[in-house]
Structure 1
């Protein structure tokens, strides 16, 4: 799980990465193929998401989806961690458990001063490198997962800890439907960077100083659908309804507590 800005795109990347590894998005959501051969996927995603965490406006983008797997190693979206693009490896993989690590980063600045008049004087938040450890346990119709995502690029974007639960239902062999809640805790460094206003920012922007502390940052509910159109082609959609909590919700930077995203993708495996 990630900030609302990345949640939809990360969900699309996760679906396409897993689909590339397994060749069956409906029946093998959690079991990457660990054979010693390269597997690739390429596609496009259309996503609508908030302009930045706390934004009241959305933006719609057409984005490429690329993924590659070799045994336990993968390139593309980091599964279960919300990193839009990166590399990683599964350390543990069996019928139920999955544990892995990854390195990735933002595709763009997560917030620009030009995104909203409310941000005037606050400055941009730069893109950074992110490290993650993720794990999940799945059974016949459900899955619980979590991750720790931290800024390793020195851009003051702190650490987030996320937990998600997902129920799954396959009404037909090629279709998988998913739904479930999630939450994210963020440390003080992350919350202050995205939702705080320091003395210099206050002087430039006219906003009151605001110290944002660690705590529950986001609660969400996710809906997804994946359909294996052919052996090579996969289709998918994901909707995430998120709501900011705690100091993030009360911040003068926040225009809207509700942070929803929606995306669809088409992907080709080869």
Structure 2
């Protein structure tokens, strides 16, 4: 088979292969792996229609309640967890407070309605078009929560954690809760940890920011404060999104957090 036909075949079968991938679910007291067929056995499948901010259009999907999925896997209120970490196949790993799930608006979708998967529902990722399979997290409120809830796709793992126990090396030790460094940490936790790590804890899509060199040791404050809200103004084709919602004070707090963490570097990986 020549290379051209191999590429054609790969694109034809890849979305279906991804859709068949298992989902790892890790709770404080147990870990399990379920196939899509097993998930359908455990949780009722629902149809959901919404104005989707990733596709920027109205979409209809099949999926299951994320809250009900976690309960079926063994989650019970009172467990030592306050955060949900959602890991994609490329290392993107956003997290969100567990309380976001309590109103049961989060849905783990696995197919476009009426289709066997996402074969005809690819999403733009830079210049490429990719399948959101095997699982894509959406919210029933649609675009109304575009900026306040994560919308990750290609999900392969869910993990319920105590945030401080899961990420102790990125906590701003000895920073008062009313300090600029602590406020910057809260912003980092909300908007940056999905792609970036501090002391190798966090996402893997973007660069590590503290070890062995802290980013403030090789970027000036002026450049860093300009880069954070608008990376594409520095680098064409940057994968880092813009952050127009960040105020100047927010940026100052983020830089204060990064500078604070300079004193708490890990020594070896």
TM-score with structure 1 length normalisation? 0.26
Higher relative contact order (CA 8 A, sep 6+): 1
Q: Which has the higher strand share?
A: 1
- The structure richer in helix per residue is 2
> Highest Rg: 1 or 2?
2
